[in-house]
Amino acid sequence: MAERPAVKIGVLVSGSGTNLQAILDAVARGDLKAEVRVVISNRARAYALERARNHGIAALAIDHRQFASREDFDRALVRELRARDVELVVCAGFMRLLSPVMLDAYTGRIMNIHPALLPSFPGIYGPRDALEYGVRISGCTVFFVTEGVDVGPIIIQSAVPVLPGDDEETLAARIHREEHRIYPEAIRLYQEGRLQVSGRRVIIRDADSASESLALANPRPR
Ligand code: GRF
């Protein structure tokens, strides 16, 4: 089969951008055939913009507060993404809900990552909510963005144990390490044309599935 071209991505951020960094590193290593065309933050001081500039990538701050509505802000996003020929939008710690303006412009072509095993603990406090609930296993989820909060079809999940003595920070750090593994992988599956959405499910062609005998029990049974 002919090799597919690099996927042109636009990354939306609001904060530190460690997931953006993981994506840039995967591209640099040659593990991911992608071209990051632009990084857009709704916060001018997001460190993610600095990371983009360090890689010579266009870095834009578009302050959502300058727009009268969510839709107007999204129209500005669409304009910048289209101007750079972006095919896939990657939300990486982007703290704004997308309106139908973005969802219609990039239907089935927007990914997000969430620091919990969805559909458990959606929203902005994934690790804290998981800890307070008392779950023994949490993790992270990459999914396609649809209308609604953290409800779209799931592409990859990775599970981590909740350990005695964990606080929000230690659990979030453990989850973060997994995010950095699965986000570039999800984008790679997209670039290779292996993802097909069927209702709520994502069908992955030739998926390298976890083995049937692999399970994470916590605590470990004797
Ligand atoms: C991650 O925990 C991600 O799951 C959530 O926002 C955080 C972003 O972290 N959506 P970073 O900016 O990529 O370090």
pLDDT tens for 12-53 read 999 999 999 999 999 999 999 999 999 999 999 999 999 999
**Is it true that 1-107 and 112-208 share their CATH fold?**
yes
Beta-sheet strands, E only, within the chain: 7-13, 34-41, 58-61, 88-91, 110-114, 137-144, 154-161, 195-198, 201-204
What CATH code would you report for 112-208? 3.40.50.170
Tens digit of each residue's pLDDT (9 = 90 or more) over 174-201: 999 999 999 999 999 999 999 999 999 9
Round the average pLDDT of the chain to a whole number and report it: 97
pLDDT at 39: 98
What CATH code would you report for 1-107? 3.40.50.170
Q: Looking at the predicted structure, is the pLDDT value of residue 211 above 90?
A: no
Q: Tell me the best of 176, 180, 181, 183 to mutate to test the pocket of ligand 1, counting ligand atoms within 8 Å of each CB and taking the most.
A: 176
Distance of alpha carbon 55 from the chain centroid: 20
pLDDT at 46: 98
User: Which residue puts its alpha carbon closest to atom 6 of ligand 1?
Assistant: 93
21 vs 89: CA distance, rounded Å: 16
Measure 27 CA to ligand 1 centroid, in angstroms: 19
* Cis omega (within 30 of 0) for bond into 122: no
H/E segment holding residue 83:
helix 70-83
Q: Looking at the predicted structure, is the pLDDT value of residue 1 above 80?
A: no
Measure 17 CA to ligand 1 centroid, in angstroms: 7
Residue spans per domain, the chain: 1-107, 112-208
pLDDT band at 127 (very low <50, low <70, confident <90, very high): very high
Cβ 185 under 6 angstroms from ligand 1: no
Lowest mean pLDDT among 9-18, 33-42, 114-123, 205-214: 205-214
User: Which residue puts its alpha carbon closest to atom 5 of ligand 1?
Assistant: 93
pLDDT at 213: 86
pLDDT band at 3 (very low <50, low <70, confident <90, very high): confident
2 vs 97: CA distance, rounded Å: 37
pLDDT at 219: 96
pLDDT at 212: 86
Ligand 1 atom, smallest distance to 17 CA:
12
User: Which residue puts its alpha carbon closest to atom 2 of ligand 1?
Assistant: 115
pLDDT at 13: 98
> In the numeric block, which tokens belong to residue 25?
């590193």
Q: Looking at the predicted structure, is the pLDDT value of residue 159 above 70?
A: yes
Cβ 127 under 6 angstroms from ligand 1: no
> In the numeric block, which tokens belong to residue 108?
């089935």
